[in-house]
Amino acid sequence: MSDLDPAIALYEAGRPAEAAVKCLALLETGSRDADTLNLLGVSLFATGNGDAAVGPLEEAVRIAPAHFAARSNLALLRQQRGDWALAETQFGTLAVLDPAFRLTQDRLGAMRQELGDLDGALRALTRAVRLDPVSGLAWFNLASVRMLAGLFEEAMAGFRHAIAEDPSGVLAHIQLGEMLLRLGRVGEASGIFRRALRLDPASTGAGNGLARCGRYRTMTAAAGMPTGGVAIRGPFESATGYGHFCQRIIRTLQGRTSHAGQRVPLEVIGINGPEVWPGGALDRPVPARAVVNCLIPLAVEPVPGRATVTFSMFEATRIPPAWRRMSESSDLIVVPTESSRRAWAEQGFPEERLRVCPLGVDPVQPGGVPVLAVPGGRLVSSYRHRFLNVSDFNARKNIDGLLRVWLRATAPTDQAVLILKLGRSLGPAARARLGALVRGAEQAVGRRLAEAAPVVLVDRLLTDEEMTGLHRAATHYWSLSHGEGWDLPMTRAGAMGLGLIAPAHSAYLDYLDEGSARLIPSSVGPARVPGESGFYPPFHGLDWWVPDEEAATAILTGIIRGGDRLPSARDRLLERFTWERSADRLLAILDEAGLR
């Protein structure tokens, strides 16, 4: 029995804290061997102390460079902490130490997928399948990345391999069914979903897939009816940007009439299948020649006998290659702005199959102003300049740049406050990331947040009425985003009469100009993650826009201290960008293409 065996027994018994104590006692005796350091590292990690686990694992690898377990654990820890370059180095060394170890390639592929490097993930996972061609999991992982890469036929073959190796795999059956739906093969998909339900009668994914198959078969049967209607599929139940514009388009189309004065027949299908439109019975088959998908290309499912129209958008200078491949199944791609049209065209999508249909601006609704207070208790309403930003908490929204500009442009004595509405709710991990962004901004500028005008954080899901109230609490709306497909909060703010400050790029240039907003000069640059060298995963290998922070600082300073009065975008937005115009333009696009 070795000295380490008691610690191993404690770890295997689910008592990692005690195992760590045993390891530390052994190390204090001067026995600094790689096995003890490795066990200490994994024990500390199992107790939730990842920071402390790094040192022992790194020391174990230095002492014994060929120690496979220690290097593997260090690679996984680096991956879990988001230290991507260091993790990839460790995985690369593991592949050299044991080229036949499939799990190394699996983990390397998973990490590259997480980073958005789909080509790199495909290479690693293809090697994993070659190393172990009878592993259902290896085939499933490879097929999943093929799906994300828009390689639908190859993905379908991969899921079939996964099922052949593991016939009881419900998830592989569901994914195969969804691949078949994305290729318009409804009958085959139905059979696969039924098989999945036999394996697991409680499977929601299989039940939803079968529901969509039923809807699509009914729609196909109605394809020979007299035409003139519109069928729309989208996430109308979700509190997302796509969900919002999908709801608005549907509600507006409900009241539209044809040139002959007849109501436009309308059918609505939810993203999952079983959803029913809450505003009335719009779930029956209607005489429509096309299905309009208010979705990203990955989620589009062609309906046999009907044309496929994808109403989508993108926030970089061009779409990813995967989106280009997925878009091939669409007869038309409809986008809300010229910026998104160029994004498809720049990736080589045929311009004759691209159309622009601007979205609408929500009408101003009644709503109370929320009572907000800054740290210390002073009411937000008492400040003369109240800047609002509503953003999902991700790298594209450039929250770190927003904070840097606020630190440079403001002081505690200014009559200014920033209301920052981030995400739907921020959990502990997101709050930790936000804290890191704040510290990074403070370090970059050389000032602490306490030395700037106050910031009020709102991080809970708001109703539509509450969101209107939040806009009423502000005098200005400010974005420093790296790219937008539309920016619904910005257009809502403009319609309510707030002064607008926006970067001069992407969607903003379709509905704002120097006569209606203060525009921030912007350049084009790689879509990087703040503080890291890697790409923001959804934009791997792509460019987006980088707003000029000095110019933004000057604009804010001019408003706060110079009394710069911003022009109003209200009339421009409310006259040119209504949901009625948007719905009429969509109908015109379908008519011009012979799809209604």
pLDDT tens for 268-298 read 999 999 998 887 767 677 888 999 999 999 9
Distance of CA 270 to the CA centre of its chain: 19
pLDDT at 432: 87
| CA–CA distance, 190 with 301 (Å, rounded to integer) | 14
Is residue 209 over pLDDT 80?
yes
Query: Does an H or E element contain 50, and which?
Result: helix 50-63
The reply to whether 380-577 shares the fold of 226-360+580-592 is: yes
Residue boundaries of the structural domains of the chain: 1-99, 226-360+580-592, 380-577
Q: Which CATH number is associated with domain 1-99?
A: 1.25.40.10
pLDDT at 87: 87
DSSP strand pairing (476-478 vs 455-458): unpaired
**Architecture of the CATH domain 226-360+580-592:** 3-Layer(aba) Sandwich (3.40)
Q: Extract the tokens encoding 271.
A: 């993203």
Position 570: which residue type? Answer: R
Fold type of domain 380-577: Rossmann fold (3.40.50)
What SS3 string covers 397-413? HCHHHHHHHHHHHCCCC
Q: pLDDT tens digits, residue range 22-69?
A: 999 999 888 789 999 999 999 999 998 888 999 999 999 999 999 999
Q: Extract the tokens encoding 96.
A: 């050299």
pLDDT at 465: 86
| Nearest one of 225, 247, 252 to 237, comparing CA atoms | 247
Q: pLDDT tens digits, residue range 143-185?
A: 999 999 999 999 999 999 999 999 999 999 999 999 999 999 9
Mapped onto helix, strand or coil, the DSSP state of residue 558 is: helix
CB atoms within 10 A of CB 51: 11
| Nearest one of 291, 282, 286 to 310, comparing CA atoms | 291
Percent of the chain exceeding pLDDT 70 equals 97
- Which distant-in-sequence residues (6+ apart) come within 8 Å of 45 by Cβ? 53, 73, 77
Determine the average pLDDT of the residues in 138-142.
Answer: 97
Determine the average pLDDT of the residues in 343-351.
Answer: 97
Q: For the chain, what is the total number of helices (H) and then of strands (E)?
A: 24, 14
Name the H helices within 273-336: 321-327
- Residue 334, beta-bridge partner list: 311, 355
| CA–CA distance, 556 with 522 (Å, rounded to integer) | 16
Percent of the chain exceeding pLDDT 90 equals 77
Reported pTM: 0.89
